[in-house]
Amino acid sequence: MSKTARGVAVLGVAVLLAGCAAGVDKAGSETLTLRLASIDGELDPTGTQYGQAAFVEALSGVSDGRLEVEIAWEYGERRADAESDLVRAIADGDLDGGWPSTRAFAAAGYSGMKAIEAPMTLTNYEALSAVIDGPAGEQLLAALDGTPILGLGTTISELRRPFSTKPLAEPTDWDGVRFRSYNSPVQADAITALGGEPVSAGIDWRERVEAGALDGAELGLGIGSVVGGDVLPNVTANVILWPKLAVLSVNRERFESLSDEQRGWVEEAAHLAVAAAVDGDYDEADFAEVACSAGVRFVEAPADAIAALRERVQPVIDAIAADPAERALLDEVTKVAQQHPAPDAPVIPAGCGVGGSGPSSGEDVAFAPIPDGIYRTDVTLDELNAAGLSNSQGYTGTWTMTVDAGTYAYTCRPNALPGTDCGHVPYASETEYANVLEAGYLHGDDRTVRFVYDAAVHDRLAGCGSCHSLPTKTVGWQLDGDTLTFSDIGEPVIDELLVIEPWVRVG
C-alpha cells in the first residue's frame, strides 16, 4: 500500500460557510462550481481513501475542467457533532455536497444506515467492497429516497479497532472503560453493551486521554498510528468494532437544477469513485509498522473472547433488526458478512506484540541496554549544513540526554542562536531537568533503540502538566567507550537530532 500523496486536481479550494455558488444552472454557463465539505481536514489523510480522492479528481476530469470544487476542510471544527451538522448543511442547501460517514446520518435525523455499524459484523475490506458495490450499497443509498439528500455512491475509509490505554483482549477488560463514541447512537449502544462507558468527544479526545478522563477510542489503524498511538498505545488487532464508510452526498434540489450533461458528469465521477474504492489496496502492513514505531503495541483477543464479545453486542444488532427502517439494509449486510466472516488482522511487527510503552510492558518491549549516564552533543549550524539539514526545528545548541533506568530526558542550552537553538524553546536554567524538552522510555536491544515519548515521565521531570505528545523514533545505536553514536536504519520515523553528531558520556 502506498501512502504517498496522490496528485489530485482540486480546483479553487477554499473554505465556504454559506452563500451561493458561482457557476452554472440549466440556463447554462461555462463553469460549474460545487461547494463541498469534509470533516477530515484533508482529502486523503491515510492514503487509502481512494474513493473520495477519485471523486474530486474525476469531477474535473470527466468535465474537461468545467466542474470545479470549493472544499470546506475540517467542517464544524471537528466538534463531536460536526459530521451530523455536515449532513444537515447538505440537506438545507448551505452546501452542495460532501462525503459524511454513514455514522452521521442517524444523529442528523436520517434512518436506514445503522446496519453499517452493526458491531463486529463487517470486519474485513473484502466485505466492505462487496457492500458498496452490491445490493447492500444500493439499499444504503435508497435510505435517502424522498429526503433532501441524494446519495451518489459509497466509499471506504477504514476498519475501526479499539485503541486503549490498557489492552482490551478479554470481555472483562471492557468493564468500566471510558471509550470514545463519535456521533453515533450505534457506537454508544455497542460500547455500553461491551461493558464500557460511551463518551461523546470530538477532536478534544486526546486531551481527555491525557487528563485521565478517557481510556480508549475507535480508530482506524492508519489514522490511529499517526494521531493516537502515543496516548492510546494498545490496539486489539483482531477485533473490528465497525467500519467507516463515506456517502458521496449532494443536495437533491441543487443536483436537479443542473443540466443533463452536468448531472451526467457528477454521476460518472461518483461511479469512478466507487470503482476506485473497490479496487483499492487496503493492506495494513505498512500501517502496522508505522504504528509499532509510534509506540503502539498489538494484542490479539482469543477465539473464546471474540465469541463472548459478539454475544455481548448481539442485543444491539437485534435492536437494529427490530427497526423497520433499518432492517432492509441489515439483511443485506448480514449476507455479505456471512460470505466474508474472518476479521482482517495485520501481521504484527516483531517486538510489538504486547501493549504499552511503560516499564511494566513485558519482554516484547524490553529496555534498550544503553548504560545509565549523561550524554552530550554540541550541534552547530555548520554541522547542520554539512549534513544537508535545515535548522527549522532548532537543532542547534548543546544537547544533554540523561539516561536513567530505561528512561531518557533531553535538556538543551543555547549557543550562538538564542531563540532558535534548542527547538526554539527559551532556556530555563542550568539546574538538571529544569529545561526538559522531551522524556520517555528507551525500548529495544543491543543494536536498535526506540525513543518512546511518555507524558507521565515528562511531567514527573518537568512539571508540565498536560505535556505535549511526540512520535516514537527508532534508530540504531553503538557505544564505543564514552562515545554513543546513533544511526538511521531506515525505520519510518527517526530523530535527525540524534544522528547529526555522536554523543559523549560526560557523567
Q: What average pLDDT score do residues 341-359 get?
A: 69
Q: Is the pLDDT of residue 492 over 70?
A: no
CA distance 131 to 165: 32
Q: Which domain holds residue 43?
A: 32-339
Output b/e per residue, 325-352; b: 16+ Cβ within 10 A. Answer: ebebbbebbbebbeebeebbbbebbebb
Pair (234, 372) in one structural domain: no
Alpha carbon 267 to its chain centroid, in Å, reads 29
What does the pLDDT read at residue 67?
93
Pair (296, 210) in one structural domain: yes
Pair (172, 301) in one structural domain: yes
Beta strands 503-505 and 483-487 are antiparallel
Pair (121, 225) in one structural domain: yes
Residue 462 lies in a domain: yes
Q: Which residue has the higher pLDDT, 189 or 411?
A: 189
Q: Is the pLDDT of residue 4 over 60?
A: no
Residue 9 lies in a domain: no
Pair (255, 152) in one structural domain: yes
CB contact set of 449 (below 8 Å; sequence gap of 6+): 368, 370, 442, 443, 474, 475, 476, 477, 486
What total number of domains does the chain contain? 2
Q: What average pLDDT score do residues 221-243 get?
A: 85
**C-alpha cell at position 427:** 532556556
Q: What average pLDDT score do residues 221-248 get?
A: 87
What does the pLDDT read at residue 349?
79
What does the pLDDT read at residue 430?
52
Confidence of residue 22 (pLDDT cuts 50, 70, 90): very low
Residue 228 lies in a domain: yes
Pair (167, 303) in one structural domain: yes
81-122 pLDDT tens trace = 999 999 999 999 999 999 999 999 999 999 999 999 999 999
The string of DSSP codes covering 479-501 is: EETTEEEEE--S-S---HHHHHS
CA distance 151 to 143: 9
Q: For the whole model, what pTM was predicted?
A: 0.68
Pair (320, 379) in one structural domain: no
Pair (332, 372) in one structural domain: no
Give the amino acid at 246.
A
Query: SS3 sequence, 33-95?
Result: EEEEECCCCCCCCCCCCHHHHHHHHHHHHCCCCCEEEEEECCHHHHCCCHHHHHHHHHHHCCC
365-391 pLDDT tens trace = 467 889 999 999 999 888 888 888 888
Could you tell me what percent of the chain has a pLDDT over 70? 86
Select, from the ranges 286-290, 312-316, 401-405, 455-459, the one with the highest average predicted confidence (pLDDT): 312-316
Q: Is residue 122 helix, strand or coil? A: coil
| Average pLDDT in the chain | 85
